[in-house]
Amino acid sequence: MFQVTLNHSYFLASLRTTLKAVANKTTIPVLTGIKIEVSAHGIQLTGSNADISIETFISLEDKKAEIQIIEHGAIILEGKIFANIVSNLPEKLFTMEVMENKQVRITSGKAEFFVNGIDAENYPILPSVENKNSIKLPIELITQLIEETAFAVSTQESRPILTGIHLSLTDNKKLTAVATDSHRLSRQACFLTTMVEDFEITVSGKNLKELSSIFVEEENIEVHINKNQIAFESSGIRYYSRLLEGNYPETSRLIPSEFNTEVIFKSCELLHAVERASLLSQEGKNNVVRLEITAEQVKIFGNSPEIGKVEEELEFISVDGDSLTISFNPDYMKAALKAFGDGEIKLQFVSPVRPFTLKRASVEDDFVQLVTPVRTN
């Protein structure tokens, strides 16, 4: 049985972070709860949905938390209800006290709640992730890797491995992230400042997207990997994700090394042109736009037999190689261009029926995207 008093808004920030892992619907009822553990060192909150788990820790030494621990112990409370109660407490400080019957008394000012709890021993044991193959990374770097690839993961559960981002470390220092849904691909890489043992894993893209919202104030995080789990850790947060099982497809051979046509655009101008061309095609049955490239001009076309058509001559920086006409899904192209941001973009083509690549024109780096064309009659 524990009793503790602390700052309610400070506690709420940790509670909301932990709540991101709590299951809304589950066959294991205890996973709708938050495990609260009060020790001599502070307060630990745990949430899990069996796919991801989050532990947050508020240290007794953290002055902003204003923790006063009277008695140690642990309890499980229904996550959403508990968070709603804490977010609506009237005073700066509040007290939690576990009673003999597993009820938790929550008081703040004149407000008093009694909430039914569950014995903490009923909570599943979280996976153990060893520290021997750990990587320390700037959170900005890893979230950039994710943002530049996650949009290309598959949303179809028929091939679960493609719903993940493939992360591999080669030569003890080159970290590469790849995502593909078999229609498009995005690959980015960076180099670590310290040598780490090589690895090859696939992590759910949906789970990785949560990183930036979980590690908000941290500059660096540690990454720990074992056979079936990956953990991201800072001083106060540990975020676990299950690894996806299966062999990720060999994607490096999909990216062409030789091209017959190359065009350089300003990325933002091409993006806006694709958006305009897709206005009509998205409303029709076929979401396809067409690009026609010659030495003298580049034109983009959108067509919907039910509605109408649009064509536009595009501004370009340079054109090199054979004339070409190619069709593609504009949604894939827009997502790819948004990932590059501003600057000059280089499109390289092999033929009208082969995938084409997008790369930065002014920088030689490992960021490359691949889009599969749409065959039209």
Inter-residue contact 335 to 274 (CB < 8 Å): no
Average pLDDT, the chain: 92
Mean pLDDT value across residues 221-238: 91
The model's pTM is: 0.91
Kindly state the helix (H) or strand (E) to which residue 10 belongs, with its residue range. helix 8-19
Mean pLDDT value across residues 21-32: 86
Please tell me the distance from the alpha carbon of residue 10 to that of residue 97, in angstroms, as a whole number: 18
- pLDDT for residue 28: 85
Please tell me the distance from the alpha carbon of residue 50 to that of residue 43, in angstroms, as a whole number: 22
- pLDDT for residue 131: 64
Is the pLDDT confidence value at 43 over 70?
yes
Reported confidence tier of residue 129, pLDDT bands at 50, 70, 90:
confident
Is the pLDDT confidence value at 86 over 70?
yes
Is the pLDDT confidence value at 102 over 80?
yes
- pLDDT for residue 247: 94
Mean pLDDT value across residues 78-96: 96
Please tell me the distance from the alpha carbon of residue 304 to that of residue 279, in angstroms, as a whole number: 10
Inter-residue contact 118 to 30 (CB < 8 Å): yes
Percent of the chain with pLDDT over 70: 98
Is the pLDDT confidence value at 22 over 80?
yes
- pLDDT for residue 377: 65
- pLDDT for residue 1: 79
Task: Show the domains of the chain with their CATH numbers.
Answer: 3-122 (3.10.150.10), 134-252 (3.10.150.10), 255-371 (3.70.10.10)
The residues near 135 (Cβ < 8 Å, ≥ 6 apart) are: 169, 175, 192, 194, 196, 222, 223
pLDDT in tens, 256-306: 999 999 999 999 999 999 999 998 876 556 789 999 999 999 999 988 877
Reported confidence tier of residue 221, pLDDT bands at 50, 70, 90:
very high
Least confident range of 113-117, 305-309, 347-351 = 305-309
What is the per-residue DSSP string for 216-228?
Answer: SS-SEEEEEE-SS
